[in-house]
Amino acid sequence: MQLRIGLAQCDVKLGDVDANLEIHRQWLDRGRAAEVDLLIFPELSLSGYLLQDMVSEVSIRLDDPRLLAMAQEAEPMSVLVGAIEESSNHAQYIAGIYLEGGGVHHVHRKVYLAAYGVFDEARYLGWGSRIEAFDTRFGRIATVVCEDAWHPSLVSTILLDGAELLVVQVASPVRDLTEEELPANAQTWLDTLRTYARLYGVWIAFCNRVGSEDGLVYWGHSCVLAPDGTIFERGPTYDETLVVAEIRSEALRRARLANPILREERIDLTVRELQRIVRGPSDDSTEAEG
């Protein structure tokens, strides 16, 4: 895998898809000028985050002409946008929509919805039910959305599906503000991402938004992490920017040779033991192990 990534650390307008499409076009121009191969936007970049009862108004179908027009306009770039996707049976999901070849190439529906603190996603939206990596013209990629990344089982599963790049789209507001450069939750995010990168030997592209909505302030600090856990490139806190990074397979190969966790993972054992846990305690207390 060899590609030039652009992270569009941007602000968007709450509940105004058409205005946000125009914002995306401006970032497409910036990405094209920077010779980016893959341009990544934050979670819900086409709608804004604190939607509540506006969810159905801003939802977008995968065959929406506006979405397909952006896919064609982006060529030869590939683009990952964040949106409320409406399915054929009119259910709504937080989704990362990957555009390539002039059309929709892959969709990831957010599997774990945030439902604590200021977050109330499960009240308005459906849960995604599938996680998979997918092939692109650059190589095999996996995308997850915000809360998904807080579940190591999901991350390990999607990386076992062959991804060399993990993209994390988020709309993370400031929580537990400190006197340090970053709020406490931002530091936790970075610590978690470093752990994943080092443990699995994977490139990670983390794209967070900036701006504010109804009292929430988004902290940005989008970054690309190398497979050894170092922050390869990063953006500022709170300000709009385009973060650009070149990633190459050589660094991933070195990391996985040094720490072959994915190679040594015993998937059959994991599946068997998870099935046992789901079934609950066995009635046969003398069941043999192994």
Mean pLDDT by 10 residues, the chain (290 residues): 96 98 98 98 98 96 97 97 97 98 98 90 96 97 98 96 97 82 90 97 98 94 97 96 96 94 92 94 57
Q: What is the pLDDT of residue 286?
A: 47
Q: Read off the DSSP letter of residue 69.
A: H
Dihedral of CA atoms 178, 119, 173, 210 in degrees, nearest 10, equals -170
Q: How far apart are the first and last CA of the chain?
A: 39
Question: Looking at this protein, which amino acid is placed at residue 85?
Answer: E
Separation CA 37–CA 80 (nearest Å): 11
Sketch out the chain's domains with CATH numbers.
Answer: 2-257 (3.60.110.10)
Q: What is the pLDDT of residue 278?
A: 95
Backbone angles phi, psi at 9, to 5 degrees: -80, 90
Interacting residues of 41 by C-beta distance below 8 A, sequence separation 6+: 8, 10, 24, 27, 79, 80, 81, 82, 169, 207
Residue 128 to residues 41, 52, 93, 122, Cα–Cα distance (Å): 20, 18, 7, 11
Structure tokens at 33: 């000028």
Q: What is the pLDDT of residue 50?
A: 95
Q: What is the pLDDT of residue 283?
A: 58
- Give pTM, 2 decimals: 0.94
Q: What is the pLDDT of residue 260?
A: 92
Q: What is the pLDDT of residue 116?
A: 86
> If residue 19 lies in a helix (H) or strand (E), which one and from where to where?
helix 17-33
